[in-house]
Amino acid sequence: MAQNARKGWFVAKERPEEKFSGNAAKFYSQEGSGYEKNSIKNIQSKILLRGLQLVNFPSNSKLLDVGCGTGLGMEILKELGFKVQGIDVSPDLLKIAKAKKLKVMLGDMRKMPIKDLQFDGIVSISALQWVIGKDGAEGKRDVQVVADEFFRVLTPKGKAIIQFYPKSEDEAMHAGKAFKIAGFKATLQIDNENNAKKRKVYLLLEKKREKNKKEKVGLSLQLPNSQLDPA
């Protein structure tokens, strides 16, 4: 892991996204059972709860968990009083979620089998990197497709929180800009930016009334403050 204050951070180590060429279903068919371990559950729970600090969903909101996996996040969201449905690309992980009696569906975040304007909010934890991790133009194109899909399924005042593991600061910024182009107010929140092991990247999204692809694409970047304690 190399860091440079001027050029931004960059992950030098090969990640699963590169090793499996962006094929999340293949990776989780081999490694998915490990996601029910307590250590993983604790990490994912902290990440989700931190995300909920950053985006305040109204009580009783109807939420979509994109990349829901085994349904850990959905269980927490249900306990908090939200109506929640999940979608994931991995049949193996969804088998575990279905065994928990959770409402889930098989699908790709780039083309979700969901009607327009169905959800008040979207939660996505540790999933977007499988799309943006692809090389070159394919990754850039796919993240824009995902951004458009998120915009499509959210209600007019919909919000979203995305936590993901970008390869670099530039990749994180590109993802944020893609969602801005799609029609969101986008804020990139980086917790523990200078600690490679603890760094967490979040995208805070708020749907605008109308898309405006001609407007200047800017992205708000903020670091943790005393009112928002990073996990």
22 domain residue, yes or no: no
Q: What is the pTM of this model?
A: 0.85
Q: What is the CATH number of the domain that holds 144?
A: 3.40.50.150
**What one-letter code names the amino acid at 43?**
I
Nearest to 178 by CA among 209, 154, 213: 213
List the beta bridge partners of residue 204. 161, 187
List the beta bridge partners of residue 163. 125, 202
30 domain residue, yes or no: no
Number of domains in the chain: 1
Sequential pLDDT tens for the chain (231 residues) = 344 433 588 887 777 677 666 667 777 777 656 667 777 889 999 999 999 999 999 999 999 999 999 999 999 999 999 999 999 999 999 999 999 999 999 999 999 999 999 999 999 999 999 998 666 567 789 999 999 999 999 999 999 999 999 999 999 999 999 999 999 999 999 999 989 889 999 999 999 865 554 444 555 555 444 233 333
Sign of CA dihedral 153, 122, 54, 173: negative
Domain hosting residue 82, numbered range: 42-222
102 domain residue, yes or no: yes
Q: How many CB atoms lie within 10 A of CB 198?
A: 11
Q: Tell me the DSSP string of 1-70.
A: -B--TTT--B--S--HHHHTTT-HHHHHHHHGGGGGSHHHHHHHHHHHHHHHHHS-PPTT-EEEEET-TT
33 domain residue, yes or no: no
194 domain residue, yes or no: yes
If DSSP codes are grouped into helix, strand and coil, which group holds residue 189?
strand
Locate tokens 């190399």: which residue?
A: 2
pLDDT of residue 32: 57
* φ, ψ for residue 171, nearest 5 deg: -65, -40
3 domain residue, yes or no: no
Measuring CA to CA, how many Å separate 230 from each of 34, 54, 209, 224?
A: 25, 10, 30, 7
Ramachandran category for residue 174: left, alpha or beta (phi over 0 → left; psi -120 to 50 → alpha): alpha
pLDDT of residue 149: 98
- Taking the C-alpha atoms of residue 214 and residue 217, their distance in angstroms, rounded to an integer, is 8
2 domain residue, yes or no: no
